[in-house]
Structure 1
Amino acid sequence: HIDFPSNESVYQFKLTSEDHVWADVGEEVTLPCHLSPDTSAVATTIRWFKGTECIYLYKNGQVTERSDCEGRVSLITQELERGNVSLRLRDFRESDRGVYICQVIHGEQKDEAAVSLLVRGGKCSRTPGMFLNT
């Protein structure tokens, strides 16, 4: 008779994201990040960093935002149960570009994923960006 540990302790997850996301100044942009396999992230600790600074912290259902991002960053809370920990950034500014890191902690497990946020086109180009599937 072998006692297997409860599912909780062997719970393994990975974070998946995209390499980079393009945005126009002033628009809302979503920085994609998902738990794989799709597992509820409600009971996890979620941190989003821009570079080394933590700009968004979700823990035990409580949210802490960095002051200069306050009101502009949010998780899609109703999607957390599906493992979607993507960060929404409203009113995108040139100064927002850079590398963002999503870190999720669940018990002893921890994983992170990075995504680069880039400014699309210059001020005068209003043509829609072309998406090339490579």
Structure 2
Amino acid sequence: MDLLMLAFVAVIPVLSVESLLVSGSDVSISASVGEDVTLSCSVDSHIPPEHIEEVSWKKTDEDEDLLVLLYLNNKTLPESSDEQYRDRVEFFTDEIPKGNFSFRLKRVRTEDKGVYMCQVFAGELSFSATVVLERLGFSVSHIMVLILCITASGSALLLCCLIYCRSPNTVKGSTVQRTQ
């Protein structure tokens, strides 16, 4: 009986599967030019954040990938960012121990529109998630300035018309007075 029990235990496999789940945003992110925006990337894993070797954010274009922000061996390396992103991107460092590798993109530009990929590497495991930044438009303050400019231009034009029409010595009026 003991021999039979021993054989039974030997055929039961012990599963030790490590998994790494990375999630971004399910919906596209909208932003206005000049505003700050947060792009989300969360690591849901049994692997502690200090064992995550690398997290890289890249903007994926048709012809090339631009490195936006890099976290390597427990350090953020902003100097490795592509030139157009330097001094405009930052991780939420207090959130990294919780597996949150979201980042803030400051002063959004129209050329920032596109697909961003968060790639996570931990040992032999790797996984990625994407976030789409779209609908870059004008902010409320930009629209208000535009409306103010249009209103001021219209008011100046109206004022010029009123001054011209009320003037007693118009060319037509002075010609009529001389002939009589």
Judged with a 3 Å threshold, the aligned counterparts in structure 2 of structure 1 residues 121 and 25 are, in CA distance, closer, same or farther, namely: closer
Structure 1 position 99 matched with structure 2 position 104 = no
**Following superposition, which runs of at least 4 residues in structure 1 exceed 6 angstroms of deviation?**
none
Task: Give distance in 1, aligned partners of 2:66 and 2:99.
Answer: 23
Q: Is the deviation greater in 86-95 or in 51-60?
A: 51-60
SS in 2 for 1:14: strand
SS in 2 for 1:104: strand
Task: Give distance in 1, aligned partners of 2:134 and 2:143.
Answer: 15
What does residue 105 of structure 2 align with? Answer: 89
Q: Tell me if the contact between 1:48 and 1:57 (Cα under 8 Å) persists in the aligned partners.
A: yes
Gaps of 5+ in 2: 1-8, 145-180
C-alpha displacement of 1:48: 0.5
Aligned-residue RMSD, C-alpha: 2.4
Task: Give distance in 2, aligned partners of 1:38 and 1:89.
Answer: 28
Q: Deviations over 1:22-65 (max 9, x none)?
A: 11111110001111247543432000110122222110114132
Q: Which AA in structure 2 matches 1:71? A: D
Aligned length: 123
Identity %: 30
Q: Tell me if the contact between 1:34 and 1:86 (Cα under 8 Å) persists in the aligned partners.
A: yes
SS in 2 for 1:80: helix
What does residue 70 of structure 2 align with? Answer: 57
Q: Tell me if the contact between 2:33 and 2:110 (Cα under 8 Å) persists in the aligned partners.
A: yes
What does residue 51 of structure 2 align with? Answer: 43
SS in 1 for 2:84: helix
User: Greater share of helix residues, 1 or 2?
Assistant: 2
TM-score, normalisation: structure 1: 0.78
What does residue 156 of structure 2 align with? Answer: none
Task: Give distance in 2, aligned partners of 1:72 and 1:42.
Answer: 25
SS in 2 for 1:91: coil
Q: Tell me if the contact between 1:17 and 1:32 (Cα under 8 Å) persists in the aligned partners.
A: yes
Q: Does 1 or 2 have the higher relative contact order (CA < 8 Å, sep 6+)?
A: 1
What does residue 130 of structure 1 align with? Answer: none
Structure 1 position 26 matched with structure 2 position 34 = yes
Structure 1 position 14 matched with structure 2 position 27 = no
